[in-house]
Amino acid sequence: MTRARAAVILAAGQGTRMKSKTVKVLHAVGGRAMLDWSVELAHQSHAAKTLVVYGAHSPAVKAAAEALGCDTALQDPPQGTGHAVQSAQHALAGFEGDAIVLYADTPLIRPETVERVFAALGEGAGVAVLGFRPEDPAAYGRLITDDTGHLDRIVEFKDANAQERAVNLVNSGVLAAPAKLLFEWLSRVTNDNANGEYYLTDVVGLARADGHKAVVVEADAGEVLGVNSRTDLADAEAAFQQRKRAEAMAAGVTLVAPETVFFAHDTGFARDVVIEPHVVIGPGVTLEEDSRVPAFSRLGEE
């Protein structure tokens, strides 16, 4: 029997690199705010409770989350990812089930991937972490496994030695555990690290010390693109469009020049649709069977 699920979506970041008056997680990919992507992912993953953690600087995030039917929790002041998740503890008091930590600036994770993370808990893991292997591991936290292939610890880049930095399996940030255990471990996390913050990742070591198995679930790097800048936003949009074009063609849509067609998150299509070059489709559009979209068209909402 599947245990109850909760999702904690972290959305309290400052987003200063976006250079925008709009809060980072309210910027759009595929015509939908990144926060909305994360909330929809939680719903598609059958979360019975979805809670969004926001910062004091972003009342707009609180308003947007509540408009989507989510509970909210304030992180103030920000003291790291572990502290952010702890901010959700009161709202999840008494919850019996598994909790997953998602990020409102990582919009392209698929529901099937989240399902694999929860499945790892169902198969006996105390903690499951979503990892990936990017072309350039850069400053990501490293996932250090033991001789059995289980996760031993997560080391933040600033705290990693040369051997640990050579590891190319890195942390996406997404982590799941039984909710009661997660908050118990977080209560024991300290800020004795290079950043002076409370790291969510430290729960892996605490879980292992308590005799629980920790595992890595690997995802494609394109799913876990995090957005911290306008360049990252463009990369996420490009990844979304590539995914949506492939989906359309697999469904029987002809794209005369695929790279010139731009879809929205909710674009629907039937077989034998033909889309000519240089077409932009906004939200709220469904293309019926045998329809043809002429070149240089714009359909749907502005």
The verdict on 91 and 34 lying in the same domain is yes
pLDDT for res 138: 87
Q: Is residue 235 part of a domain?
A: no
116 counts as catalytic: no
pLDDT for res 179: 98
- Residue 140 in this model has a pLDDT that exceeds 70: yes
**Residue bearing the bigger pLDDT, 13 or 240:** 240
For range 224-253, the mean pLDDT? 97
Residue type, 140: Y
Active-site residue identified among 3, 5, 17, 133: 17
Name the pLDDT band for 302 (thresholds 50, 70, 90): low
Q: In this structure, are residues 249 and 267 in contact, taking their beta carbons and an 8 Å threshold?
A: no
For range 27-39, the mean pLDDT? 98
The verdict on 293 and 204 lying in the same domain is no
Tokens representing 66 are 């509540």
Q: In this structure, are residues 215 and 125 in contact, taking their beta carbons and an 8 Å threshold?
A: yes
Question: Cα(18)–Cα(16) distance, rounded to whole angstroms?
Answer: 5
- Residue 143 in this model has a pLDDT that exceeds 80: yes
The verdict on 272 and 184 lying in the same domain is no
Mark out the alpha helices in 127-219 (DSSP H runs): 162-165, 179-186, 203-209
Q: Is residue 102 part of a domain?
A: yes
**Residue bearing the bigger pLDDT, 230 or 2:** 230
The verdict on 184 and 271 lying in the same domain is no
**Quick count: other Cβ atoms within 10 Å of Cβ 284?**
13
pLDDT for res 195: 85
pLDDT for res 219: 97
The verdict on 188 and 120 lying in the same domain is yes
Question: Cα(246)–Cα(253) distance, rounded to whole angstroms?
Answer: 9
How high does pLDDT run on average in the chain? 96
Question: Cα(44)–Cα(115) distance, rounded to whole angstroms?
Answer: 10
Q: pLDDT tens digits, residue range 50-108?
A: 999 999 999 999 999 999 999 999 999 999 999 999 999 999 999 999 999 999 999 99
Q: For residue 188, give its domain range.
A: 5-127+173-211
pLDDT for res 2: 78
The verdict on 277 and 181 lying in the same domain is no
Q: pLDDT tens digits, residue range 153-199?
A: 999 898 899 999 999 999 999 999 999 999 999 999 999 988 899 99
Q: Is residue 269 part of a domain?
A: yes
Final residue in a domain of this structure, among 211, 237, 265? 211
Percent of the chain with pLDDT over 70: 99
Number of domains observed in the structure of the chain = 2
